[in-house]
């Protein structure tokens, strides 16, 4: 007999026929009512066991998290809270679970505790909802780009280049620690290593994506990205997923339009396709907010926040304007910022970004035209000679969610910039070739996928929106 999913059965309005499901017991109460979940939906289906005609040994094995196979009759439910239920005619235990050892009890656990049990936490309502939304969001990302003529490019995970020039890379080597061969200068001789050169895990697929945009026109990457920065914050991971579109013949205005349209589109998609999970996460956040002091509570629910982003224009503000606003802001004057803003040229910290978004503009903000000195080498220099065509999209509760730029397409200007920053032309000869052979203006950006999932689900720690987070001192599982 064909197995149905819990989701299908809960939506069914055909009754009194035989159905078959498999799943895990969430709870079993009064020796009678199983709440069964199979991952297809946040909701459980109630399965009613005829306990008088079921042997006691079997009843004892129906415990939280046991895997079971159930056959029964789908009926309209008599009880409150559900439309349908299954009257069990046959129950088989597929996998027992020991309730004394199983760490996830049917009660509220702290997120910290669940992080230590990341292999089991997806069995909770919160994590299953987050991970289903994550899955739908990633589908929406592909759908958006595929519907709009972009080609998906798989850029390398092991690279010899440092796209961001920030030096926060994990090395990839086959040398054993302390046994690496040295060259005549006494330095590690990477010529003898696996790739014959120094390699690392990618911090961004951008440089490779740019070469593809120069032939395929519109491309995007969506893959794992690695940063060895030692920042233990709620918004940083050492391994995260980044989405990087890159488009030929598009300037910074086009880039801003694309980022805004893209984010609105994927959020619109999940609002439409993840109703149950988002309703659950909305409730969860509302509960969470109640435990905060009044002044720190958000005045919008999760669903309201998502709809707000979809329905309203992002505010576009130049870095220079933003600095003026920040310099004259209350927290700056009252010395409330950890990093006070004194002059033009200061790098913006998350506290400043969040002030602009949450307190000043009260909507997503796109900042553009940053000082050249605080941005990467590949960004296009403006006529003023001191700012570059950079853009960051800032989100409430998150800060920076997107970083991007119009790229420097002029070979001579790019070379000058690289020389000034001591970036070896020989290392990036292939990148420079794009500027030699048919160069054209082009732009792109990177969106941190987990930051998007964080915003969409209303979770507050980035470790809770990726199945197995990698952070400093943490690579269990
Ligand atoms: O601003 P970033 O460093 O930009 C780049 O890497 C460019 N090459 C992108 C491009 O133009 N193609 O990173 C882009 C985004 C950030 O805005 C942030 O959302 C996310 O990646 N991000 C991180 N997410 C989680 N953990 C980290 N450690 C992150 N670092 C960056
Ligand atoms: Mg950035």
What ligand 1 atom has the least distance to the C-alpha of 404? 11
| pLDDT tens, position by position, 214-230 | 999 999 999 999 999 88
Query: Does the beta carbon of 395 sit less than 6 angstroms from any atom of ligand 1?
Result: no
CB of residue 401 inside a 6 A radius of ligand 1: yes
CB atoms within 10 A of CB 348: 22
- Average pLDDT for 431-444: 98
Band of residue 1 on the pLDDT scale cut at 50, 70, 90: confident
Is 84 in contact with 98 (CB distance < 8 Å)? no
The maximal CA–CA distance of the chain, rounded, in angstroms, is: 85
| 102 has a pLDDT exceeding 90 | yes
Q: Is the CB of 162 under 6 A from ligand 1?
A: no
Name residues whose C-beta falls within 8 Å of residue 269's C-beta, 6 or more positions apart in sequence: 136, 137, 139, 140, 143, 144
User: How much is the pTM?
Assistant: 0.96
> How many angstroms is it from 376 CA to the middle of ligand 2?
9
For the stretch 228-281, pLDDT in tens is 988 889 999 999 999 999 999 999 999 999 999 999 999 999 999 999 999 999
Give the mean pLDDT of 334-340.
95
* Any atom of ligand 1 within 6 Å of the Cβ of 403: yes
Going from the Cα of 329 to the center of ligand 2, the distance in angstroms, rounded, reads 23
Which atom of ligand 1 is closest in space to residue 237's alpha carbon?
26
Going along 96-238, which residue ranges are E strands? 151-152, 158-159, 171-172, 199-201, 218-226
Per-residue pLDDT reduced to its tens digit, 17-55? 999 999 999 999 999 999 999 999 999 999 999 989 899
Q: Where are the chain's structural domains?
A: 6-102, 123-168+203-464
CATH placement of domain 6-102? 2.40.50.140
Ligand 1 centroid to 43 CA: how many Å? 35
Angstrom distance (rounded) from CA 393 to CA 386: 21
Q: Which CATH class is domain 123-168+203-464?
A: alpha beta
Report whether residue 396 contacts ligand 1, using a CB cutoff of 6 Å: no
Contact in structure between 224 and 232 (CB atoms under 8 Å): no
């Amino acid at each position: 007999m064909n197995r149905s999913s819990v989701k299908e059965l809960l939506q069914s309005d055909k009754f009194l026929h035989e159905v078959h499901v498999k799943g895990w017991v969430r709870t079993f109460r009064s020796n009678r009512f199983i709440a069964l979940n199979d991952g297809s939906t946040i909701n459980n289906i109630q399965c009613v066991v005829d306990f008088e005609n079921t042997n006691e040994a079997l009843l004892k094995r129906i415990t939280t998290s046991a895997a079971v196979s159930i056959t029964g009759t789908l009926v309209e439910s008599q009880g409150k809270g559900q439309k349908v239920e299954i009257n069990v005619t046959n129950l088989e235990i597929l996998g027992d679970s020991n309730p004394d050892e199983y760490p996830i009890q049917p009660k509220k656990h702290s997120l910290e505790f669940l992080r230590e049990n990341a292999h089991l936490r997806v069995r909770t309502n919160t994590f299953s909802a987050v991970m289903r939304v994550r899955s739908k969001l990633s589908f929406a990302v592909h759908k958006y780009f595929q519907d709009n003529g972009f080609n998906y490019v798989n850029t390398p995970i092991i690279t010899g280049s440092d796209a961001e020039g920030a030096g926060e890379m994990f090395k990839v080597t086959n040398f054993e620690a302390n046994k690496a061969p040295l060259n005549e200068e006494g330095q590690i001789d990477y010529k003898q290593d696996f790739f014959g050169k120094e390699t690392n895990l990618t911090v961004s697929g951008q440089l490779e994506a740019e070469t593809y945009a120069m032939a395929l026109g519109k491309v995007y990457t969506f893959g794992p990205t690695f940063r060895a920065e030692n920042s233990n914050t709620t918004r940083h991971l050492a391994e995260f997923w980044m989405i990087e579109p890159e488009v030929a013949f598009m300037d910074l205005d086009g880039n801003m339009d694309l980022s805004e349209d893209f984010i609105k589109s994927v959020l619109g998609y999940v609002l439409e396709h993840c109703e149950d999970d988002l309703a659950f996460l909305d409730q969860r956040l509302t509960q969470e907010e109640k435990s905060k002091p009044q002044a720190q509570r958000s005045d919008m629910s999760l669903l309201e926040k998502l709809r707000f982003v979809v329905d309203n224009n992002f505010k576009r503000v130049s870095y220079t304007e933003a600095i003026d606003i920040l310099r004259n802001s209350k927290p700056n004057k009252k010395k409330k910022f950890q990093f006070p803003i004194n002059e033009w040229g200061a790098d913006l910290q998350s506290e400043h970004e969040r002030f602009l978004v949450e307190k000043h503009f009260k909507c997503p903000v796109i900042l553009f035209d940053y000082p050249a000195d605080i941005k990467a080498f590949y960004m296009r220099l403006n006529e003023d000679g001191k700012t570059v065509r950079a853009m960051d999209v800032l989100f409430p509760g998150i800060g920076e969610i997107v970083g991007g730029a119009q790229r420097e397409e002029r070979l001579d200007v790019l070379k000058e910039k690289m020389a000034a920053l001591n970036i070896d032309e020989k290392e990036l000869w292939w990148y420079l070739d794009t500027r030699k052979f048919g160069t054209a203006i082009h732009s792109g950006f990177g969106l941190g996928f987990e930051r998007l999932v964080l915003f969409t689900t209303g979770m507050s720690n980035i470790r809770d929106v990726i199945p197995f987070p990698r952070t400093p001192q943490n690579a269990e599982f």
